[in-house]
Amino acid sequence: MAFKNIVYDVRERVAVITINRPERLNAIDADTSVGLREAFTSFRDDPERWVAVLAGAGEKAFSTGADLIAMAQEMREGRGPRLPVAFGGITRDFECWKPIIAAINGYCLAGGLELALSCDIRIAAEHAQFGLPEVTRAIIPGAGGTQRLPRVIPTAAAMHLLLTGGRFDAAWALRFGLVTEVVPADQLLGRALAIAEEICRNGPLAVRAVKEAALRGLEEPLAQGLELETELARQVMRSEDAREGPRAFAEKRPPVYRGR
């Protein structure tokens, strides 16, 4: 599959989506945002792909956020910044209940961090650097950083990062739960794929229902969240996979899930 500035690689049930602009530290321009939206839409709509891994090409960066050079050029030409889709493709107005794992290699700054925050699981290389430096340029994060970061890490830590515009290392990110694992750079993609494969051993419909229940439930009072959980559980229990799981357990064999 061909997407602008994106490499889309299939590893059995896993889609590996790579931002491919290493010469720009994987900065994201309008074309790249469109490419990401198209790649993730393809993943979401493909019944054969159950988990995605998002990475940045090269050794230096996951993404440094918006391509300010491209934005400045457009403004000089009187075109203004083009925003055909949400920044990074998935930071707004994109619903996908399949799991997405961010493999963060190097710089993860500004919109790059906001893109990572749009993923469900984040793991980082030891040399990864994180930050939302927008306030140092008298602007604010505009792709969900002010909303997602305090939902992911403790409020005090989020405010420290947001208000100082400072940069923090992988150890800081691990300590406050921004990432769940830190590994050597040469093991990063392999570890992300291992997590993806672990998820793929589970019933895919159940996995998607769990993600939907957890994320939608965050926005609801507990009583409404429990109602949502009950309704999704009913839907999953009607699936073929829900019958296969207990049957495989009783027969002492690995389950064979088909996503239906």
User: What are the residue numbers of the active site?
Assistant: 114, 134
Q: Cβ distance 14 to 46 under 8 Å?
A: no
Q: Is 121 helix (H, G, I), strand (E, B) or coil?
A: strand
Pairing of strands 121-125, 129-131: unpaired
- Which tokens go with 37? 């939206």
Q: Cβ distance 52 to 98 under 8 Å?
A: yes
Integer Cα distance of 2 and 86 in angstroms: 20
CA separation, residue 249 to residues 42, 206, 236 (Å): 33, 16, 18
CA separation, residue 174 to residues 60, 130, 252 (Å): 19, 11, 38
Q: Quick one: DSSP state of residue 68? A: H
Integer Cα distance of 190 and 236 in angstroms: 31
CA separation, residue 197 to residues 24, 62, 204, 249 (Å): 31, 21, 12, 20
Integer Cα distance of 136 and 152 in angstroms: 23
Q: Cβ distance 37 to 6 under 8 Å?
A: no
